[in-house]
Amino acid sequence: MSEPTSAYRFAVNVTPKPGILDPQGKAVERSLPHLGLAGVSGVRVGRRVELTVAAADEPAARAIVDRLAGELLSNPLMEQYEVEALGEAPAPAAAGATS
Amino acid sequence: MSEPTSAYRFAVNVTPKPGILDPQGKAVERSLPHLGLAGVSGVRVGRRVELTVAAADEPAARAIVDRLAGELLSNPLMEQYEVEALGEAPAPAAAGATS
């Protein structure tokens, strides 16, 4: 195993694929009149997962995030994901350091 | 009511506040060894809501998104949110146009 030299923070944005029914998004749209808000449409509700990866460099860290996003964080039949780099993490956090 | 002239797409990223326990994030971290992945820490699971707002201009649209994010999409006691502008929407979508 190679020494990790840096820690990188990423976000994985998981959203329902176009055409897939999104009941949570519809529920938000139906709540809008109660708030007195108009002009809002196309609401899609997904997940955002933020995480830190310790790896030798940014491409290596991104490869881990890609695997995680495709195999654990999203359902490839109904969801799509997008990986967003949030920059280098201030310090490599030990796993389980915060509760 | 003023005429909306454009439609803008936004994302609202809702994440647990620092210090707030995130059981979903912990569940992801505990799944990592089963996938053979190491070096991942600080996992926080939140929501990502994407929506289109028809308004006179971008600041007016953002004001609507801010109200929605604070009053409906997040729990201000436990969650924080961030509004991300995704640019002008291709065409003002009619509410309920897609299922």
Q: Using CA coordinates, name the residue in chain A closest to B10.
A: A43
CB < 8 Å to A40, chain B: 51-54, 64, 68, 95
**3-state SS track over chain B:** CCCCCEEEEEEEEEEECCCCCCHHHHHHHHHHHHHCCCCEEEEEEEEEEEEEEEECCHHHHHHHHHHHHHHHHCCCCCEEEEEEEEEECCCCCCCCCCC
| Cβ within 8 Å, pair A29-B95 | yes
Instruction: Give the nearest partner residue to A95 out of B29, B64, B94, using CB atoms.
Output: B29
Rounded to the nearest angstrom, the minimum Cα separation between B77 and chain A is 18
- What pLDDT, on the 0 to 100 scale, is given for residue B90? 75
State which residues of chain B have pLDDT below 70: 1-4, 91-99
Q: What is the dihedral sign for C-alpha B68, B73, B74, B75? A: positive
B50–A41 C-beta distance less than 8 A: no
**A89 falls in which pLDDT band (50, 70, 90)?**
confident
Closest chain A CA to residue B99: A21
Distance to chain B for A15, nearest Cα, Å: 8
Task: Tell me how far apart the alpha carbons of residues A39 and A87 are, in angstroms, rounded to a whole number.
Answer: 35
Confidence of residue A93 (pLDDT cuts 50, 70, 90): very low
- What pLDDT score does A85 carry? 96
pLDDT score recorded for residue A66: 96
CA distance B80 to chain A (A): 12
Residue-wise pLDDT for A59-70, tens only, equals: 999 999 999 999
CB nearest to A47's CB, from B1, B47, B52:
B47
ipTM confidence: 0.84
The pTM of the full predicted model, rounded to 2 decimals, is 0.85
